[in-house]
Amino acid sequence: MRICTEDLTHIYMPDSPFAVSAIEGITVNIEAGSFAAVIGPSGSGKSTLIQHLNGLLKPTAGRVVIDGQVVGENKVELIALRRRIGLVFQMPEQQFFAESVFDEVAFAPRNLGFKPKQVDELVYQALDLVSLDWKTFARRSPFQLSSGQKRLAAIAAILVQQPEALILDEPAAGLDPEGRRNLYLLLSRLNQEKGLTIVVVTHRLDDLCALADHYLLLSGGRLVMHGPPEELFSQDQKLRRLGLDLPPVTRFMHLLAEKGAPVKRTVYTMEQACREINCWLKKETGS
């Protein structure tokens, strides 16, 4: 699914003394099957932008174009669009309402009129996709899961609708390192194996950017940079000015390079750093 915005602007409470211009003139192009990371400091317009991508917010100016079709005001089309583009809110567990994980995930297919046997199959498939063992979890209350499990159950409740694209707002917030790693692995798998277009909002430029094939950097409601992750990791000063931190391993490589070591600065995983340092040591020792 190709998701584009053209000169997209959103003003909250327009024509009032409380008007807030949240995003301004944003033109982006997210190709089908790609994995985009939307980054930027707090208040830069990330959540506002992604809520336009499945028609939850209506543009003040500009437009959103999905697979060549302009997202309009037709209610039936909007409902169909929201099924094709799943949006997972930050802290989605706050929206749980059902008594069991099964009922939570079954809500959409039941609503669409699927027969009980089909609902069962769809729910088990969705739980399987997010690696929640249904025997253990299906009958548990969604409120009594760990925060990582809650996040996965919320994602299953979206995946059950078999969307073509998945948009997630800060999905790793509040998760421990293992929970974050598992979540990123899941997103990577959905992208690589199921071909889902993924758009993830984050504050953190760490492991996620190693997965994303491009990033969109927002500041003050404007798109200030976009491109492949490597490019972002060379912009230390600019990121710091925006209040964003490079991952520790990238900062370390910047420091080494500043001290004269012949290493690349655009390194963002431990594996890349080890390779760079190994090459440097081999050169030094002539081996």
Binding mask 242-271 for ligand ATP (x = CB under 6 A): ------------------------------
Which one of ligand ATP, Mg ion, none is in contact with 40 (Cβ closer than 5 to 8 A by kind)?
ligand ATP
Q: Name the 3-class secondary structure at 26.
A: strand
Q: Is the CA virtual torsion 54, 155, 28, 22 positive or negative?
A: positive
CA–CA dist 178, 199 (Å, integer):
21
Spatial strand order in the sheet of 61-66 = 20-30, 3-12, 61-66, 69-70
Q: Select the residue interacting with Mg ion from 47, 125, 188, 234 (CB under 5 A).
A: 47
Q: Residue 94, interface with ligand ATP (CB under 6 A)?
A: no
Task: Report CA 54 to chain centroid distance, whole Å.
Answer: 14
Tokens for 190, please give them.
Answer: 């959905």
- Give the binding range for Mg ion (CB under 5 A) out of 41-49, 117-125, 232-240, 276-284: 41-49
Q: Give the shortest CB-40-to-Mg ion separation in angstroms.
A: 9
Query: Considering only 40-48, 70-78, 128-136, 146-154, which stretch makes contact with ligand ATP by CB under 6 A?
Result: 40-48
Cα gap 236→254, rounded to integer Å: 8
Residue 43 as a binder of ligand ATP (CB under 6 A): the answer is yes
3-state DSSP assignment of residue 119: helix
By CB under 6 A, residue 12 contacts ligand ATP: yes
Report the residue number, 89 or 134, with the smaller CB distance to ligand ATP: 89
* Among the listed residues 70, 51, 45, 57, the one whose alpha carbon sits nearest the alpha carbon of residue 168: 51
To the nearest whole angstrom, how small is the minimum distance from the Cβ of residue 196 to ligand ATP?
Answer: 22
According to the binding rule CB under 6 A, does residue 46 interact with ligand ATP? yes
Any contact of residue 162 with Mg ion (CB under 5 A)?
Answer: no
Q: Is 42 in the site for ligand ATP (CB under 6 A)?
A: yes
The encoded tokens of residue 35 equal 């994995």
Tracing tokens 């059902």 back to the chain, one arrives at: 98
37 three-state secondary structure: strand
Evaluate whether 138 touches 102 at the Cβ level (below 8 Å).
Answer: yes
For ligand ATP, give the closer residue by CB, 1 or 56. Answer: 56
Angle at 6 between CA 5 and CA 7, to 5 degrees: 120
22 binds ligand ATP (CB under 6 A): yes
With CB under 5 to 8 Å by kind, the binding choice for 43 among ligand ATP, Mg ion, none is ligand ATP
| 48: contact with ligand ATP by CB under 6 A | yes
Name the token pair of 116. 């009980």
Cβ 170 vs Cβ 203: under 8 Å: yes
Question: From CA 241, how far away is CA 245, in angstroms rounded?
Answer: 9
Q: Is 40 near ligand ATP (CB under 6 A)?
A: yes
With CB under 6 A as the contact rule, the residue among 9, 47, 162, 272 that binds ligand ATP is: 47
Q: Which is nearer to ligand ATP, 12 or 143 (CB)?
A: 12
For ligand ATP, give the closer residue by CB, 132 or 218. Answer: 218
Question: What residues make contact with Mg ion under the rule CB under 5 A?
Answer: 47
Question: What residues make contact with ligand ATP under the rule CB under 6 A?
Answer: 12-13, 20, 22, 40, 42-48
